[in-house]
Structure 1
Amino acid sequence: MNKTWWKILASVLVIYTAIAGLLMGVPRLAILNETIRNLYFHVPMWFAMIVLFSISVYYSIRSLSSKSEIDDMKAVESVNAGIIFGLLGLVTGAIWAKYTWGQFWSFDPKQNFAAISVLLYFAYLILRNAIDEEQKRAKISAIYNIFAFPMMVVLLFVLPRLKDSLHPGNGGNPGFNSYDLDSRMRMVFYPACLGWILIGYWVYTIRFRVRAIENTINTPQIEDRKGDNSL
């Protein structure tokens, strides 16, 4: 129970978010109207992605000093999990845009920079697959990851503010700030953020365990091949 309580909490929070997010009342804001409910799903996906990428850069920094294969595995699997939530963030945002702006993709600055942020981490995975030698792959990908994280922060939080945007909170459009969120929405939004972040961490731990098991299974095979070659 001590190891699973947070998984139970994550499940309860996400179920609560889905039910309350669709049934509880929301403020009627110009432009947004009922689409404001997407806040409970779209924004938490990005928060989960950022937390997972933060975990990844932490283990990338550790792997440079420890040279540990475990740290390298944790870094790449947290990126894999983070990309899942990044894609979910793009999809939920595109669906919202269809009903609010009239099209799935309007090349809005925030849409474009968010897509580039996710592509940065696809490039990280491609880089890893392009390098065969394990130590070299771990070192180069860790360095790339360390630089990719601040670039992602700039793309998501800095550059979009320099241009006008249709996105809520820009260009005079209602946003998801303290003035637009009422107490009803806070009762769903904050649990939603925590719930999806925990779900994201759960996905990461599952991926890491699967990767560790695969490595354990494959390692004896590699050693057997080396033994056969020496005969």
Structure 2
Amino acid sequence: METLKKHYGKILCMILLYYTIYAGFEGKVPRQPILNETVRNLYFHVTMWFSMIFLLGTSVYHSIKYLRSGDVQADLKSYAYVETGLVFAIMGLVTGSFWAKFTWGDWWTNDPKLNSVAVGLLIYLAYLLVRSSLPEEQQKARISSVYNIFAFVVFMVLIWILPRMTDSLHPGNGGNPGFNSMDLDNRMRMVFYPAIIGWTLLGFWIAGLRIRIKQLDQQIEENN
């Protein structure tokens, strides 16, 4: 029973993802012009972006915690959450590119939303470069924490605010409506919301594994 409680989140994650994948491909979806069957990508592309935001937001929490307390473990966790968040960002970008190909006719368009996402990812990739370029651990942790907070704020502006200020092909931006009550019917909601939870749990599961690996590496270095 104790083992079951310990792995409850992982079991729930696997159940929700199995349900998401099965219902995502086999469940009924509304027939929308242009989108047609590609609307199923909503369960993967959009939900992965939600997971990414939760992961990056958690990394900012740990960055702030490090700056306030100097706890090395907080910096380590912040780093792991950024790494995992970037994995989900790339998966979201890839699934979005496939969606664009079949709905807009091209893998990548010169769209404000897509370009903003690309700039945001470059900012986060620069975060990884900053960490790898600083040899002194305290300096690395301090500068990385400040940079991470800055990167998250800028990234949110790039993907949520700027695209809404101009014309955009992407749903929910520039006067182009996102999925509303007519598009996202109750059948899709029954898959969409569990999918967000499932992918988010997977992200935190992966981040937890990354944290454990980093902690072991830290212990090995200290022992040597």
**TM norm structure 2:** 0.95
Matched-pair contact (CA < 8 Å) for 1:30–1:174: no
2:118 aligned partner, one-letter code: A
1:118: how far off? Answer: 1.7
Q: How does 1:138-177 map to 2 (within 5 A)?
A: 138-170=141-173, 175-177=178-180
Provide, for residues 32-60 of structure 1, a one-character-per-residue CA deviation record: whole Å limited to 9, x for no partner: 11111100000111111100111100000
Amino acid at match of 2:209: I
**Matched residue, 1:42:** 45
**Which residue of the other structure, out of 99, 104, 127, is the alignment partner of 1:101?**
104
Query: Across the two proteins, how many residue pairs are aligned to each other?
Result: 221
Check whether the contact 1:174–1:180 (CA below 8 A) recurs between aligned residues: no
1:13 corresponding residue in structure 2: 16
Deviation, structure 1 residue 173 = 5.1
In 2, Cα distance between equivalents of 1:177 and 1:114 = 23
Distance in structure 1 (CA, Å) of the matches to 2:158 and 2:54? 16
Q: 2:220 aligns with which of 192, 217, 220?
A: 217
1:150-187 Cα deviation digits (max 9, x unpaired): 11111111001011111123466563233321111001
Structure 1 gap ranges (5+): 222-231
Residue number among 54, 60, 64 corresponding to 2:63 in the alignment: 60
Identity of aligned pairs, percent? 53
Whether 1:135 and 2:146 are equivalent positions in the alignment is no
Return 60-69 or 202-211, whichever deviates more: 60-69
Secondary structure of 2:44's aligned partner = helix
Contact 1:54–1:149 under 8 Å retained in 2: yes
Give the conservation status (yes or no) of the 8 Å contact 2:13–2:201: yes
Runs of 4+ residues over 6 Å off in structure 1: none
**1:191 corresponds to:** 194
The code of the aligned residue for 2:125 comes to F
**Which of 69, 89, 94 matches 2:92?**
89
1:49–1:85 CA contact under 8 A, matched in 2: yes
| Structure with greater Cα Rg | 1
> What one-letter code is carried by the residue in structure 1 that aligns with 2:162?
L
**CA pair 35-174 structure 1, distance change in 2 beyond 3 A:** farther
Ranges in structure 2 where 5+ consecutive residues have no aligned partner: none
Q: State whether residues 25 and 184 of structure 1, in contact with CA within 8 Å, keep that contact through their aligned partners in structure 2.
A: yes
Task: Give, in angstroms, the shift of residue 145 of structure 1.
Answer: 0.9
8 Å contact 2:164–2:175 — kept in the other structure? no
**Counterpart Cα distance in 2 of 1:113 and 1:77:** 24
SS of match in other structure, 1:2: helix
1:187 alignment partner AA: M
Structure 1 residue 11, shift from structure 2 partner: 0.7
CA RMSD of aligned residues (A): 1.2
